[in-house]
Chains A and B, each alone.
Chain A
Amino acid sequence: MKSKLPLALLILMGIFGITSRFIPHPGAEALNAYLRDTLLRIISAFALILGLGNLILRHWSKIKKKEENYGSSYVLLISLTVTAIIGLFGGTSGEGILPTRIGEFSFDVNTLYDKVMIPLGATMFSLLAFYMASAAYRSFRAKNTLAFLLLASAFIVMLGQVPLGQALWSELPSVSHWIMTVPNTAAKRGIDLGITLGVTATLLKILAGIERSWLGGGS
């Protein structure tokens, strides 16, 4: 019961999912629209709440046990609570019951997204440029032909996208474009095909009930 019921539901829903593409009947289409746009959307919203619960519990326990750097957990919990309250009661653009504007100063969730999340996210991802460059400097060595090819294509693509590359050799952007559209496309396409066929095989194993690791441990 504890494993068979979820497995039976998975197989049943899997059949609905697969057949949705092959049955152009209005009834079947309405059923699939209901499953996709209502049932599964609501269930996925609850999954987010579960993830959030785990995050809150993890940081709450960090604060209670006074683990290393527990002060940061206060920042996370307070910012999460404040943003959620502003978003839930203030609406996404300040149309809710909670006022999200003091004079000219607006602090609705869309503003928080633009003014807090975007600067933080963009800077965090830009940090990777420094670490990738530093890692490349330490590890890129043209020890053999293949390593040289990797190094050369990386340099050509990087130089081909900046004015310096064009100043060094006017044809460099065209070479960079050729690398991206011919050898890179060939390698990516081969890898994509391999990954997709592998993923599809795994999905079919899940649907057939052969792959059951998603059920987790226990009976």
Chain B
Amino acid sequence: MSAEVVWVWVGAFLTLCILSFLYRDNPFYRFGEHLFVGVSNGYFVAFMFHRVIRPVMLEPFWGAVQTAGESGLSWELFNPIAPQNFLLIIPGLVGCLYFTRFIPGTQWMVRIPIGIFMGYYTGLSVPAYFEGTVFPQMRGTLVTQSDFSAAAGSSSIDGIWALVVLLGVLGTLSYFFFSREHKGIWKVGAKTGIVFVMVGFGASFGFTVMARVSLAIGRFLFLLRDWLGVIS
């Protein structure tokens, strides 16, 4: 029996374990579910060690220890940007503060790595959100002459759809704007917006169902073709 055949049988057994949940919760499903969590976490431990801890912290730190052993201590070994330096131990120590959560009386120290991590990415995210979402989405919503121009590769119908998108975006925004009562022009905007929102939710639902159906087809194809060989 070749290795591929063994893995096909393993895959088929695990697929059937998970599909058995369609009948009801049972030990086979729980086995598959817990195996998934266990293997995923084990995989990410290995991934983090081989991609982060070892190349970014342990190897450069060990390199600094070896260099210090061969040619003595130098200021270069304390330069945080140098490829091999002793200061790499600092992020390691800061990371270890996460474990103070388990030591009574020192639990507050877990806030230090959280604060450092959250602070940097919070700061980084503010301009990134504007550059990555707000500005491009606003740019995409703007209706310009080129939307109607044949020279720019568009037709008059494209321009009309661009106007519909603009109307829909304004309507959706006014529907979710709760700082003012939906009266007068706001009411018209909100009424238009909810139409777009319902069509959008329906489309998203349909698209998500089809994506999941596609996954289900993939699994049944695996069972019928790769495992049972019923179809070619």
Contact = CB atoms under 8 A, between A and B. Distances in A.
A210 interface: no
Interface in A95-139: 103-106, 109, 111-113, 115-117, 119-130, 132-133, 136
B62 interface: no
B82 to A, nearest CB: 10
A47 B43 contact: no
Secondary structure type dominating chain B contacts:
helix
A196 B171 contact: no
B73 interface: no
A83 B38 contact: yes
A157 to B, nearest CB: 3
B203 A184 contact: yes
Contacts of B78: none
A17 B122 contact: yes
A43 B199 contact: no
Contact of A189 (B36, B121, B127, B172): B172
Contacts of A185: 165, 168
Contacts of B154: none
Interface in A181-219: 181-194, 196-197, 199-200, 203-204, 206-207, 214-216, 218-219
B208 A117 contact: no
A76 B38 contact: yes
Interface in A128-186: 128-130, 132-133, 136, 146-147, 149-158, 161-162, 178-186
Taking each of B22, B92, B134, B212, which has the highest tally of chain A beta carbons within 10 Å of its own beta carbon? B212
Given A119-B219, A158-B206, A179-B203, A12 B119 contact: yes
B206 A125 contact: no
B207 A180 contact: yes
A64 interface: no
B188 interface: no
Interface in A24-80: 30, 34-50, 52-53, 55, 69, 71-73, 75-80
Interface in B3-32: 3, 6-7, 10-11, 14-15, 18-19, 21-22, 27, 30-32
A154 B42 contact: no
B138 A149 contact: no
B180 to A, nearest CB: 15
A46 B124 contact: no
A45 B52 contact: yes
Secondary structure type dominating chain A contacts:
helix
A201 B92 CA distance: 32
Contact of B113 (A46, A84, A193, A218): A46
Given A92-B50, A124-B36, A214-B114, A133 B209 contact: yes
Given A120-B14, A157-B207, A187-B199, A52 B41 contact: yes
B117 A43 contact: yes
Nearest to B215: A126
Given A14-B123, A83-B38, A207-B122, A123 B202 contact: no
Contacts of A6: 108, 111-112, 114-115
Contacts of B206: 153-158
Contacts of B209: 129, 132-133, 136, 154, 158
B212 A132 contact: yes
Contacts of B215: 122-123, 125-126, 129
Contact of B165 (A36, A112, A189): A189
A37 B18 CA distance: 38
19 contacts: A7-B115, A16-B120, A17-B125, A38-B56, A38-B80, A42-B53, A47-B117, A52-B45, A92-B47, A116-B11, A126-B216, A127-B216, A132-B209, A149-B199, A157-B206, A158-B210, A184-B204, A187-B199, A189-B172
